[in-house]
Amino acid sequence: MHLIDRLPLFLFILMGLTSAFSQNENLKDFTQNIGGSKLNIEMIAIPSGSFNMGSPTSENHRNLDEGPVHEVTLNSFWISKYEITWEVYNLFVNRAIDDSENPVTNRDIDIDIDAISGATIPYVDMSLGMGTSEGLPVGNVTRYAATQFCKWLSAKTGHFYRLPTEAEWEYCARAGTSTAYHFGDDPKILDDFAWFYANSEDTYHQVGQKSPNPWGLFDMYGNVAEWTLDQYIPDAYKERKNSTVSPFEIAKKTYPISVRGGSYNDDAEYLRSAARLGSNENWKMRDPQFPKSKWWNTDAPFVGFRIVRDPKVPNENEINHYWGQ
């Protein structure tokens, strides 16, 4: 086949890709109200684009699981401006407002809220004394609990919510930059943007107290580390092509899951945009139950989450991957 014969097919594919990555470029920031509550979640519109995921060999404190650097292309989406707080999460735990659904108009997805499992009420203070008052980020929740919160919120609002993929998380953390942190390679001004070991006094803090990144997102570094959807695979990047579209390592087992951003209990190098961490069973070390709770960790108050909304509802198989495990 000559080049001229291949041109129509090439143009068709190119037009399809262009359409896929431009159809949602009109996304705007919005506030997600939660029916039956005065609480809401502020969502930031993230444009589609490409970025280099991972860290170069020259980056200080780089780990082997951060390479090789590879180009990733993502469609547009929304992500929560802040980490999910205890007060918002407890709406899901207590389930007192399930009958107060958001208006039935403009619903993208219709789920029976009564069919969604409810989180168990914890028998101890899961904040381990750090508090659950207004504005404090939720912690000690499992990845399963975080995904079920997203499912519950989707049923409440009629919009599809989930955790970010690892690629989406790093894209948002970098916010158009390619340095170790969005503000550069030197962590000397990290204090302006993050709660971490050097300034946190060994506790998490109210969300939004530090400066946001260039895309208006708060606490992407530090405070609590954040669950992603991906199975943590140390050499995952080695299996990817130089250019990859929307990568997602589907979780097929409970451990390890990729956690990003570092926490109030971590040194600066663990808050770099490319830094990766896998969850482990020790985060339930003090859980006396058998089997151990699928909802709560006992030893990971430093892990919370933020959420993503897709402009387009995925198919049933994709939804199962997003809300499973």
Residues 6+ positions from 5 with CB-CB distance below 8 Å? none
Query: How many helices (H) does the chain have, and how many strands (E)?
Result: 5, 12
Distance CA 32, CA 325 (A): 26
- Whether the per-residue pLDDT at 11 is higher than 90: the answer is no
Q: Which residue in the block uniquely carries the two structure tokens 């409970």? A: 254
Please give the structure tokens belonging to residue 119: 């989180």
Q: How large is the angle between the packed helices 143-157 and 86-94, nearest 10 degrees?
A: 80
Q: Side chain identity at 262, as an amino acid letter? A: G
Beta strand residue intervals within 93-224, DSSP E: 161-162
Q: Provide the β-strand partners of residue 42.
A: 31
Q: Nearest CA to 83 among 139, 153, 13, 14?
A: 139
Mind listing the pLDDT tens digit for each residue in 242-266?
889 999 999 999 999 999 999 999 9
Q: What is the pLDDT of residues 72-98, one digit of tens each?
A: 999 999 999 999 999 999 999 999 999
Q: Residue 298 has which token pair?
A: 């006992």
Q: Which of 6, 219, 35, 264 is nearest to 128 (CA)?
A: 264
Token pair 């897709």 is found at 310
- Cβ neighbours of 258 (radius 10 Å): 24
User: Is the previous residue joined to 288 through a cis bond, with omega within 30 degrees of 0?
Assistant: no
Let me know how long the chain is: 325
Q: What is the CATH number of domain 3-323?
A: 3.90.1580.10
Judge whether residue 10 has pLDDT over 60.
no
What's the sign of the alpha-carbon dihedral 55, 58, 62, 68?
A: positive
Between CA 43 and CA 41 the distance in angstroms is 6
Q: What's the pLDDT tens digit per position in 142-188?
A: 999 999 999 999 999 999 999 999 999 999 999 999 999 999 999 99
Which pTM was predicted? 0.91
Contact 202, 264 (CB under 8 A): yes
